[in-house]
Chain A
């Protein structure tokens, strides 16, 4: 029997060319049944129709000169406008000689974020202290006055990307404790506090942000004692905070409901009081589950701060109108929008990728 088996190894038969390699891949994913090829053609046409004019406008026919007259000779984009105006897009009408202050504030935040990404630093007490101190430091730097000895730059000078980011971060920080309280109230069985929280959350979730912004900017001054003036930026923050605390509360409620009953009972059995139980046992677990939806919430805030333009603040989006009504670069709205869209998109896409990464990393949160 053994002799029957030839010594030579029979070479493995190669799989058919149409199933592996480049050709196989193309056949499977682009061409093979005839309708797939049609779809490929249609997609190619759609990409061509969208990208070709944009490429022509943004690259082929574009100019980058700082001279508006020279830019007019090109039919495409005048990127010189962005080169000329980008500090305004970043900080609005913040005085030019003070622009180093927001820059340093930005550096502080970036350094803090990158330090937190290093896991050995993340657990240290110092970084927490720095995180808690950073909003005050940033505000003191940007606003000035007080002990800093810097000239005061009032909030009506704030604008651009700086205002957008500050509004969203402050609103998030302010909405967080409110929403935790609202979520706790909604999941509690207190006969007065619970309906109160439910009513607040449902009322706010039922109305558009713009009506809340109008309320904060037009009605809120009427509610305050006469003589007391609220800053315009502060009023917008109040509106955004009210709005997002309701949405955030619903997310946190989801996290609270995701905690098993045994955790509550174990804490009770250890003789913990309500606040100790909530702060030490329940919230740390509940909040960890809801970090990805909270990041999505923050993306929502970041995008929706663009509405503050309607009540008269000059955020990143409104800067487009402010800069293009300037006679030097009159009517360069396309370039401005592309630049703004680029910033919003980068920020939101980075955040949403981060939230997806967190979701994947979190085995306990998966159902």
Chain B
């Protein structure tokens, strides 16, 4: 494998990782602060993609579609927090899993009811279409590069929000002791709604960005949700830093595994069998990674006990 191809694959892994981070950040924040397992996070990803597609089709502008997607996902996030989720904080995780799983079914069928059974169309915006030549003669998709930059900017913003602002301080405090910050006069229910809406907006952003290069269809959120859970388990539950590290690690492992393992097996097997065995192993790789990390750090890379 040439150096150029390797660098391109590393960029691909980074882009995949950054996209996973946007999903995992909201999931880990909601779990960390509120102790809630939200299986419906993937539905918010789907809502982001559908609203972006519908918005872009209606206005002719990708950027307007993106803004609409962010707002819709945040709005739906706040709405389900107010109507459903807040009844679940005191319940155990099993009840939360059951209720948020029901939300997945409701959102999927509602989306089908509104948009129909057929996939929607969302294309990359004109100014981000095609490729750009990076130093060293690497041809790379402008759009994927933009996803990497947006993701890194969001990561930096989130980090500043949590570590430097008053809201961030309250979020961190809420993570540690929710009764105490309530006693100190912070309105916990508003804080929780805000955190939930923020997490939802991140999922919606991720869905809208990815919708332009993927199929926008009902059920698109579930595979990503599973990966996002793997990411937060690897990174340590409740940690934004962990989510970023875990996401990049999963992105790189998956992408490089898919491209390198079949080549590795081809060294000592016939090509057809090597693709088959290599691909099978590549699809297991991130779970092997997760098991490996948990073996040495049971609470994840940045998790606290």
Q: Do A and B come from one complex?
A: no
**Interface of A with B (CB < 8 Å)?**
none
**Interface of B with A (CB < 8 Å)?**
none
